[in-house]
Amino acid sequence: MTDADERQLYDHAFASYRDLFGSMDGPARALWFFTMDEAEILSFPVSAGQDHAEAGIRHGVKLAAMADALEALLGSQESAHEVNDLRRIAAQHGYRGKAEGTEPC
């Protein structure tokens, strides 16, 4: 996955999750995280012939965008637990984030 591919995926996911979370109040977001934990956070598809490691990194990019969208809407204090969990899982999938010295996503 190239840096451009990663950035495009991130930008799309960030906008989608920002719109999704922005339309929810706190209880609705909590319910979404509870019900979507397996489908959106803990699992990811690997297409036939796709490299498992690349699929994991793509999932990590999505999770990082999800964390950033949540933090952008709620602030770092209100969403710290969820944001930290999402970023930890993203790193476990091999998402390395942006290189030092570059603008954060």
pLDDT band (50, 70, 90) for residue 104: very low
For 4-19, write each residue's pLDDT tens digit.
999 999 999 999 999 9
For 54-70, write each residue's pLDDT tens digit.
888 999 999 999 999 99
φ and ψ at 16, to 5 degrees? Answer: -65, -45
Asked whether the beta carbons of 10 and 105 are under 8 A apart, the reply is: yes
- Between 98 and 14, name the one with better pLDDT: 14
The rounded radius of gyration (Å) of the Cα atoms in the chain is: 14
The pLDDT value given to residue 99: 36
Positive or negative, the CA dihedral 67, 68, 73, 78 is positive
pLDDT band (50, 70, 90) for residue 101: very low
Q: Compute the average pLDDT of residues 14-40.
A: 91
